[in-house]
Amino acid sequence: MMKRYLIFLLLLTNCYVITSQNKKSNDTWSGTYRLELLGKKTEKKTPKQYVQIQKITLEQDEESSKFLSLPDQWMMKILSEKKDKKVLRAFSFTEEDDEYEQFGWTELHKKGEMECLDGGRFFICKTKPKTTVTTNGESFFSKSGIFGVLLHYGGFELYKESFPKKNKND
């Protein structure tokens, strides 16, 4: 009887571990995106407008994962550039470090309505499509719900889509 109980506990523990690992691997950012300036529809699409975001999988052994907690990270590259790659990391959100607070988005993040990635000189965020976003007393409309801000440049919108096929004339 004791063996059955131990086997049951072992199976239950394994199911829990597998389920929790699957939840962590939920990746809503990876994909190909087209960039446009906020509020300005681009008539002609060019390869320079397309970026690819891909989740970085960091391998950790069992021992180091007990002591080291790494934030989720993604690699972003402009598809027309071979070497231009940027590492993006999830905004910090703890009691001691809330990166959403500076924009007034803490409550939105707590409700699951705002997720952001930091790329150093820029950040990108996801919210609901067709949303007016307010930060620091200014507002803008995001049609796609995926937007970003580049320091000293301004805001842009990202549209998740497939990379366009090249024309034979290009």
- Report the alpha-carbon distance of residue 6 to residue 127 in Å, rounded: 45
Mean pLDDT across the stretch 77-86? 87
Closest CA to 77 of 38, 32, 116, 41: 32
In sequence order, the β-bridge partners of residue 77 are 52, 85
In the chain, count H helices and then E strands: 3, 10
> What angle is formed at CA 151 by the lines to CA 36 and CA 127, rounded to 5 degrees?
55
DSSP alpha helix (H) spans, the chain: 2-24, 62-67, 106-110
4-59 pLDDT per residue, tens: 544 444 444 443 334 344 444 578 899 999 999 987 877 888 888 899 999 998 77
- Report the alpha-carbon distance of residue 118 to residue 100 in Å, rounded: 11
- Report the alpha-carbon distance of residue 96 to residue 58 in Å, rounded: 25
**pTM assigned to the model:** 0.73
- Report the alpha-carbon distance of residue 77 to residue 38 in Å, rounded: 20
In sequence order, the β-bridge partners of residue 100 are none
What is the chain's mean pLDDT, rounded?
80
- Report the alpha-carbon distance of residue 85 to residue 15 in Å, rounded: 37
Longest dimension (CA), the chain: 75
Q: How far apart are the first and last CA of the chain?
A: 73
Is the pLDDT confidence value at 60 over 70? no
